[in-house]
Amino acid sequence: MERFLCDLLVTMDGAVGAVPAPIVDGAVDVGDDGRILWCGAAVDASELGPGTAVHRVGILMPSLINAHCHTPMVLLRGAGEGLAVDRWLHEVMWPRESKLTPGDVRAGMLLGAGEMLANGITASVEMYFVGHAMAEAAQQAQMRCLVTPGVIEDPDFTMAGSWPDQIDEMVALRDRWSGSDLITVGLAAHAAYSVSRQCLVAIAERAAETGMAVHIHLAEQQWEDAAVRERSGGLAAPEYLETLGLLDGNVIAAHGVWLDADDLEVLARNDTAVVHCPCSNAKHASGAAPVSEMQEAGLRLAIGTDGPASHHRLDLFEEMRTAIRTARIRSGDAQTFEAAEALHMTTAGAAEVMGRGDELGRLAPGYWADMMALSPSAPALHPVSVGDDDPLSRIVWSGSPGAISAVWVAGRKVVEHGRVLTVDMAEAVAEADTRARRLAQ
Ligand SMILES: [Zn+2]
């Protein structure tokens, strides 16, 4: 067992709107199996046995979960700047991605995983091709990952093979990684407008058979609605997916920008989770998602960075702040979207969306000790005031990757003062640069 003593303990062990107040002078005991044995006020902790390691940190909290990403796109970071999503995909992304090799995907995932760990992100939900390369790279970095290799059907994009082959591959990958604590595997389709009805039905059927999660882009751009209605006989995307049975299981719908009240009702009655990607939506001028309306509809919500080619940074602190700012600009009300809600959407809420809400995203007995410490000396977190000060809002509004002093996955330290201990980052950067240059030719 190891004991972590901290100035402030943030457990996030509660539902939306019921996040418990942080504990001053907290303690977390972590077992040799990497799971939390006990946490609470240090004064209530048990007597320590002889030789037990004790660590002293500043703010201790769950590490973050990136609920929608295409991490290997670090190889395409910065390409197609200034284009809306449809032109960006067809003119820049898919031509380069058609040249991708498994080695490229592995190199991109490894660099991005190291980058995320340094930014306090220890788990991500990934939609990308060559799932086995992503899973292997995530494991090498010691990062948790829900790998969902997405089906795309496009004449310009043939590298991934036919869609029946892609679906079979996803299920085989799931079988190969069963029993892993780090890697889980789900199904994915790119979007309702870009994948055929037959393929969506086949994915729904496989999800029902296997219980695998389904990851899909939903209503990201305004023009998608007309494209979906043309394919669906006049239905909007949520209702179309519902009629195909695609919303029956654990569905992770990314973006959800252009959703009206009827759409939200469809998602709510299917308990579909939505991942808000505010920075990507802003950068591509896709729109501002109706997050407050989604909260009111009772949807399960999380936050994602989207791929690093859509928005350059894999930084959930920036995403949380952008989510709140965007919601407040829409509402004209500074009470909209509290910091604690944003933090829930990147920790406990994101773990639930990932299908691992009973073991990730909180500091509580039985949960994995996936944690990060913010330095007590980080200038942006000061002055430390007392009284009615809200520590959670200070973490969200002033926190940044630069304030992180350490990150652990299952109690094992993976980042120390910005240095990633599981990935040779200089080597990963050089490898990614070489491969990115070839893809750009
Ligand atoms: Zn995306």
Q: Please name each of the domains of the chain with its CATH number.
A: 2-63+359-420 (2.30.40.10), 71-353 (3.20.20.140)
State in Å: Cα 391 to ligand 1 middle: 31
Give me the long-range contacts of 432-435 (CB less than 8 A, separation at least 24).
Answer: 432/74, 432/75, 432/107, 432/108, 432/111, 435/75, 435/103, 435/104, 435/107, 435/108
Query: What pLDDT, on the 0 to 100 scale, is given for residue 284?
Result: 85
State in Å: Cα 392 to ligand 1 middle: 28
Question: pTM value?
Answer: 0.96
The gap from C-alpha 204 to its chain's centroid, in whole angstroms, comes to 22
State in Å: Cα 217 to ligand 1 middle: 6
Residues 93, 440: contact at Cβ < 8 Å? no
Query: What pLDDT, on the 0 to 100 scale, is given for residue 261?
Result: 96
State in Å: Cα 187 to ligand 1 middle: 14
State in Å: Cα 83 to ligand 1 middle: 15
State in Å: Cα 309 to ligand 1 middle: 10
CA nearest to 199, candidates 135, 143, 251, 154: 154
State in Å: Cα 60 to ligand 1 middle: 30
Q: What is the tens place of the pLDDT at every residue in 406-419?
A: 999 999 999 999 99
Query: What pLDDT, on the 0 to 100 scale, is given for residue 80?
Result: 86
State in Å: Cα 306 to ligand 1 middle: 5
Q: What is the Cα–Cα distance from 125 to 212, expressed in whole angstroms?
A: 13
Residues 174, 211: contact at Cβ < 8 Å? no
State in Å: Cα 314 to ligand 1 middle: 13
Residues 307, 354: contact at Cβ < 8 Å? no
State in Å: Cα 370 to ligand 1 middle: 25
Exposed/middle/buried for residue 281 (C-beta within 10 Å: 0-12, 13-18, 19+): buried
Q: What is the Cα–Cα distance from 12 to 380, expressed in whole angstroms?
A: 22
Give the contacts of 430 (CB within 8 A, at least 6 positions apart).
none
Q: What is the Cα–Cα distance from 174 to 41, expressed in whole angstroms?
A: 40
Residues with a beta carbon under 5 angstroms from ion ligand 1: 306
State in Å: Cα 280 to ligand 1 middle: 9
Q: What is the Cα–Cα distance from 50 to 39, expressed in whole angstroms?
A: 20
State in Å: Cα 154 to ligand 1 middle: 16
CA nearest to 423, candidates 204, 172, 143, 165: 143
State in Å: Cα 248 to ligand 1 middle: 21
Name the phi and psi angles at 328, rounded to 5.
-75, -35
Residues 156, 90: contact at Cβ < 8 Å? yes
Dig out the tokens for 18 from the structure: 């019921």
The list of the chain residues with pLDDT below 70 reads: 154-160, 384-388
Query: How long a stretch of residues is the chain?
Result: 441
State in Å: Cα 401 to ligand 1 middle: 22
The gap from C-alpha 215 to its chain's centroid, in whole angstroms, comes to 12
Query: What pLDDT, on the 0 to 100 scale, is given for residue 112?
Result: 98
State in Å: Cα 206 to ligand 1 middle: 22
Three-state SS at 103: helix
State in Å: Cα 275 to ligand 1 middle: 10
State in Å: Cα 71 to ligand 1 middle: 10
State in Å: Cα 189 to ligand 1 middle: 11
Query: What pLDDT, on the 0 to 100 scale, is given for residue 162?
Result: 84
State in Å: Cα 254 to ligand 1 middle: 7
